[in-house]
């Protein structure tokens, strides 16, 4: 049976299509490849415009031959020709002459601040600060806090327990030590564990061929070589090539006059001998031939017959004290070294002398003698207290439970069964199951619910 996909969705259910309205046509252009009918040429713009020409080697112009001139060098410079010497005089100094004014009046050493800002004649203000009346107590400080004075230790307080007395509950019913593990656990015999024995390595007797999977599978087949799809290059006819461009036709060279070259003046060597003196040596010369004297006034040396007082305020106020380094306070050594040589014994060696081990008496009870004539008591608590019970198989384990009839499938998808007879209905209603979620009124049960109950048990 071929099942078709369900085309019904929430959108199609709420917004159905109407028959009197047609869907809009898409304005989006169809993406199709328009193939040109003209075949494509294998010539590019570069190949069509830039055609190779015959290139000839560049002809180099040979340099002119040098001929040595017999004329002598004039040794003149542009500076000597353009800058002629002029008479130079000494420049007078622009700074005024220093003048010293001396007076016999005594200098007033009062500054302007002291002369202008004089203190006012006003009485001194009284301080608003309260007088300091605190006097420390003469008694000795007891070093106690307020917490120690007010919170005194009153000893342990005997408290009465208000917890109700709970008498031990003693029952006469023996303890049922049965568990689900003891009831449902089945001891299966363990099979012997398989021990894998590794096979011994056997080297191959065939020689190594050195071939790989690539060499065996991908073998080079004989065939014609690959041919180039590139179209052959046809050299155009150079006879019809004009060799001009748009730039050469529109932008023509303007007629220009040849550059005027000035004929250089003929060099005439000087007849006089070269003067090696500088400008300073020529112009700055004393007329009388003597060296210039200094115009700086001589320093006035004050001679005083009194001896020089080398004392200063620092030396008078801060005089050197006669101080000697104090001796180090070294504590007196109170250890008296004994005259007897050291015995090199420790306290452990001198006090802890090894003694012989004392004999300890064993208080362990003696084992009774073997009694082979008395039979062995092989009873245990498990063997005396364990009561075997009948193991019931859960009907939910069967696909079709025996003794039950299929009733319906509920909303949750569970299959409901009911007993086939009235006796089974009563037995199913009286059956005590740990989780009652699987049981229903009237003795019916859910197969999924009973599976959950069986797994929990």
* Matching residue, tokens 């075949």: 39
In the prediction, which pLDDT does 202 show?
87
pLDDT tens, residue by residue, 341-352: 878 888 888 888
The stretch 32-61 carries a mean pLDDT of 82
What is the rounded average pLDDT of the residues 279-294? Answer: 72
Q: 141-175 pLDDT, tens per residue?
A: 788 888 888 888 887 778 888 888 888 777 788 87
Q: Rounded mean pLDDT of 430-439?
A: 40
Residue 420 phi/psi, 5-degree rounding, is -80, -30
Q: Give the span between the Cα atoms of 133 and 53, in whole angstroms.
A: 121
Residue pair 412/438 in contact (Cβ under 8 Å)? The answer is: no
* Widest pairwise Cα distance in the chain: 166
Average pLDDT, the chain: 77
Q: Please tell me which residue, 370 or 318, carries the higher pLDDT value.
A: 318
- pLDDT above 50: residue 301: yes
Among residues 109, 74, 450, the alpha carbon closest in space to that of 265 is found at 74
For residue 452, how many other CB atoms are within 10 A of its CB? 14
Report the pLDDT value the prediction gives residue 438, as an integer from 0 to 100: 39
The residue with tokens 């002598």 is 72
Stated as kind and residue range, the H or E segment containing 419 is: strand 415-419
Split at pLDDT 50, 70, 90, the class of 110 is: confident
Per-residue pLDDT, 453: 38
Evaluated on CA atoms 175, 177, 183, 184, the torsion sign reads positive
For residue 235, CA distances in Å to 20, 47, 231, 240 come to 70, 10, 12, 12
Beta-carbon contacts of residue 90 (< 8 Å; ≥ 6 apart): 284
Q: What is the pLDDT of residues 353-373, one digit of tens each?
A: 788 887 778 888 777 666 667
Q: From CA 75, how far away is CA 270, in angstroms rounded?
A: 8
For residues 417 and 407, the answer to whether their CB atoms sit within 8 Å is yes
Q: How confident is the model at residue 302 (pLDDT cuts 50, 70, 90)?
A: low
Look at residue 13 and give its three-state secondary structure: helix
What 3-state class would DSSP assign to 439? strand
What pLDDT score was predicted for residue 37?
78
Task: Report the C-alpha gap between 446 and 440 in whole angstroms.
Answer: 8
Q: How many CB atoms lie within 10 A of CB 404?
A: 20
Question: What is the percentage of the chain residues whose pLDDT exceeds 90?
Answer: 0
Q: What pLDDT is stored for residue 214 in this prediction?
A: 84
pTM check: above 0.75: no
Q: Please count the helices (runs of H) and the strands (runs of E) in the chain.
A: 14, 3
3-class SS at 408? strand
The mean-pLDDT minimum among 30-44, 123-137, 173-187 falls in 30-44
Q: Is the pLDDT of residue 253 over 70?
A: yes
Closest C-alpha to 419, from 441, 452, 399: 441
For residue 97, is pLDDT > 70?
Answer: yes
pLDDT of residue 396: 76
How is residue 321 written in tokens?
A: 């004290």
Burial 158-192 (b: 16+ CB within 10 A, else e): eeeeeeeeeeeeeeeeeeeeeeeeeeeeeeeeeee
β-strand partners of 415: 409
For 340, the 3-state DSSP assignment is: coil
State the pLDDT at residue 423.
53
Tallying the residues shown for the chain, one arrives at 457
> Which pLDDT score, from 0 to 100, does residue 154 have?
80
409 within 8 A of 415, measured Cβ to Cβ: yes
The count of C-alpha atoms lying within 13 angstroms of the C-alpha of 331, restricted to the half-sphere facing its C-beta, is 3
Q: For 195-217, write each residue's pLDDT tens digit.
A: 889 889 888 888 888 788 888 88
> Is the pLDDT reported for residue 25 higher than 60?
yes
What pLDDT sits at residue 246?
87
426 pLDDT band, cuts 50/70/90, is: low
Pick 435 or 325 by higher pLDDT: 325
Measured CA to CA, the distance from residue 409 to residue 447 in angstroms comes to 10
User: Would you put residue 159 in left (φ > 0), alpha (ψ -120 to 50) or beta?
Assistant: beta
Q: Please list the residues that pair with 445 across neighbouring strands.
A: 417, 439
Residue listed under structure tokens 């200063």:
312
**pLDDT at res. 1:** 47
- Structure tokens, 293: 């004297």
Q: What pLDDT does 82 receive? A: 83
Question: What is the DSSP pairing of strand 404-409 with strand 445-446?
Answer: unpaired
Considering only residues 297 and 68, tell me which one the structure prediction assigns the higher pLDDT.
68
Taking residues 123-135, what's their average pLDDT?
Answer: 83
Inter-residue contact 444 to 396 (CB < 8 Å): no
HSE, side-chain direction, 13 A CA sphere, residue 34: 2
How far is the C-alpha of 96 from the C-alpha of 293, rounded, in Å? 20
Q: Check residue 440 and give its pLDDT.
A: 38
Q: Which pLDDT score is estimated for 456?
A: 36
């Amino acid at each position: 049976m071929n099942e078709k996909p369900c085309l019904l969705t929430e959108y199609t259910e709420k917004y159905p299509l109407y028959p009197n309205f047609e869907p809009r046509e898409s304005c989006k252009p169809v993406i199709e490849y328009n193939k040109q009918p003209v075949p494509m040429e294998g010539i590019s713009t570069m190949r069509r415009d830039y055609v190779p020409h015959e290139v000839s080697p560049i002809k180099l112009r040979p340099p002119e031959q040098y001929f040595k001139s017999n004329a002598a060098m004039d040794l003149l410079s542009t500076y000597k020709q353009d800058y002629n010497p002029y008479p130079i005089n000494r420049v007078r100094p622009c700074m005024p002459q220093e003048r010293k004014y001396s007076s016999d009046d005594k200098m007033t050493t009062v500054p302007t601040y002291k002369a202008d800002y004089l203190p006012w004649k006003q009485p001194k203000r009284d301080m608003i600060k309260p007088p300091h009346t605190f006097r420390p107590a003469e008694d000795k400080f007891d070093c106690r806090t307020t917490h120690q004075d007010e919170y005194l230790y009153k000893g342990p307080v005997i408290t009465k327990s208000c917890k109700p007395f709970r008498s031990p509950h003693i029952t006469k019913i023996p303890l049922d030590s049965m568990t689900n593990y003891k009831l449902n656990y089945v001891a299966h015999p363990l099979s012997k564990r398989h021990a894998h024995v590794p096979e011994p390595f056997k080297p191959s007797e065939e020689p190594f061929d050195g071939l790989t999977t690539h060499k065996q599978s991908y073998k080079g087949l004989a065939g014609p070589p690959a041919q180039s799809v590139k179209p052959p290059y046809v050299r155009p006819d150079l006879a019809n090539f004009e060799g001009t461009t748009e730039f050469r036709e529109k932008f023509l060279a303007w007629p220009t006059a040849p550059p005027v070259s000035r004929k250089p003046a003929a060099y005439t060597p000087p007849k006089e001998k070269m003067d090696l003196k500088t400008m300073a040596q020529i112009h700055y010369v004393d007329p009388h031939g003597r060296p210039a004297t200094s115009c700086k006034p001589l320093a006035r040396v004050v001679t005083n017959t009194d001896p020089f007082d080398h004392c200063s305020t620092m030396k008078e106020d801060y005089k050197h004290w006669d101080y000697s380094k104090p001796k180090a306070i070294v504590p007196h050594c109170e250890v008296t070294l004994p005259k007897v040589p050291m015995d090199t014994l420790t306290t452990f060696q001198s006090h802890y002398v090894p003694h012989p081990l004392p004999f300890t008496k064993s208080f362990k009870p003696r084992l009774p003698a073997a009694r082979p004539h008395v039979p062995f008591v092989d009873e245990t608590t498990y063997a005396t207290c364990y009561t075997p019970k009948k193991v019931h198989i859960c009907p939910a384990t069967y696909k079709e439970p025996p003794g039950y009839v299929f009733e319906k499938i509920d909303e949750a998808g569970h299959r409901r069964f009911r007993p086939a007879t009235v006796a089974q209905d009563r037995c199913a209603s009286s059956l005590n199951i740990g989780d009652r979620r699987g049981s229903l009124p009237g003795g019916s049960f859910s197969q999924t619910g009973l599976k959950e109950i069986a797994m929990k048990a």
